[in-house]
Amino acid sequence: MEAANAADAVLEVEGLTKRFESGDQIIEAVRDVSLTLSRGEFTAVMGPSGSGKSTLLHLVAGLTRPDAGRVRIEGTDIFALSDYRRTVFRRERVGLIFQAFNLIPSLTAEENILLPLLLGKRDPVADEVERLISCLGLNDVRRRRPDSMSGGEQQRVAIARALATGPSLILADEPTGSLDTINGRKLCETFRRLCGGGRTAVLMVTHNPAVAFFAERIVFMRDGRVVCRVERREFPSVQDLSRYYVSLLESEPQEVAR
């Protein structure tokens, strides 16, 4: 992946490494990963279970501290910030869409969506909030609390909450996992639209080639390392991308690293 110009770089990751202890062993979940996302760039990260892709996303979000390496978001080294300042920075600049919905049980869907704006003492833009609710099909549940919603509805509320602040960087971990095909497509098209505006960058983790196919660039991970980076336009169809992904998984690690 080409390096972004400093003025356009939303995310700069350099030599990121994270180790975990497992009994007597030290496991490197992420090994010397570097990547850069420009404004308007939509990148997908693919890899099998245990490849380190979700750990990478947690490191980029500043939720887990690396053992080595650096993460800069809009030029700010996030691990040079205090825990409090990093939390505020993340709330203001980053939209997080993780597999745990983390909705507030006592709040309605609409109140959950508005929460990060209120915490940041920002006045909600009514038209933008309405557009998100409509786009994600949440009109029927906007007054309902999480315990009366399906998993897919809760996922869509969590997505709307992450997008409501107009973040510079969106980090999404399997964001379509609880969505049906139609809403999954709508979400990916929303990501494309946001990136098309030239202000937001999206880094999305997925195991699904059909979802990754919406991105412009795809990064493949295996055993904690980035083993390949491709442009989506290199693949005429989802089936071609899927076959390529399978071939990477079936190859010996030293054969695919580049």
**What burial letters (b/e) apply to 173-209, b meaning 16+ CB within 10 Å?**
bbbbebbeeebbebbbebbeebbeeeebbbbbbbbbb
Edge to edge, the sheet with strand 25-38 lists 25-38, 9-22, 68-73, 76-77
Confidence of residue 256 (pLDDT cuts 50, 70, 90): very low
Q: Which CATH number fits domain 9-256: 3.40.50.300, 3.90.120.10, 3.90.320.10, 3.30.200.20?
A: 3.40.50.300
Phi and psi angles of residue 94, each rounded to the nearest 5 degrees, phi first: -125, 135
For 105-158, what is each residue's pLDDT tens digit?
Answer: 999 999 999 988 888 777 766 677 888 898 888 999 999 999 999 988 998 899
The first and second tokens of residue 32, run together, are 């010397």
Per cent of the chain over pLDDT 70 is 93
For 8-19, what is each residue's pLDDT tens digit?
Answer: 799 999 999 999
Phi and psi angles of residue 181, each rounded to the nearest 5 degrees, phi first: -60, -45
Residue 81's identity, in one-letter code, is L
